[in-house]
Amino acid sequence: MPKIKSKSWGQYAIHRFGEYLVTAELCRRGFSATPFAGNLPHIDIMAMDEDGSFIPVQVKTIKQNSSWQFDVRNFVDVQFDGNRQILKSPKDPPYPNLICVLVRRGEVY
């Protein structure tokens, strides 16, 4: 089994669960979609619509009662003045058409 960096096996499995779930749903809705093995920054799935346009998709998956892990510094220039947080201008997105899908996994029985 390949070594998994910076995530426990449980976190890795939850992340992959969300990616496969979203990939299956995209295919069910008529898109061609394939997940990546974590080797593309910001992109978990690449989908293609009926016109042949590519759509990059990022998936964030959490267990029930967990919190979303987003870092505002990925979206906005943030500066600090002592304890005061100052939000400056928005950053350009890494991929202009990137779609982010949030998945919350319920209890598994």
As given in the structure block, the two tokens for residue 97 are 């058409």
Structural domain boundaries of the chain?
9-65+73-105
Query: What's the confidence (pLDDT) of residue 21?
Result: 94
- Given a contact cutoff of 8 angstroms between Cβ atoms, the answer to whether 42 and 58 are in contact is yes
Backbone angles phi, psi at 31, to 5 degrees: -90, 155
Please state, in angstroms and rounded to a whole number, the distance separating the CA atoms of residues 18 and 61.
5
- From the first residue on, what is the mean pLDDT of each consecutive set of 10 residues in the chain (109 residues)? 54 82 96 86 91 92 80 85 90 84 80
Q: What is the spatial distance between Cα 37 and Cα 3, in angstroms, rounded to a whole number? A: 13
Per-residue pLDDT at 5: 53
Q: How far apart are CA 105 and CA 107, in angstroms?
A: 7
Specify the pTM: 0.73
The pLDDT value given to residue 51: 93
Per-residue confidence (pLDDT) for residue 103, from 0 to 100: 92
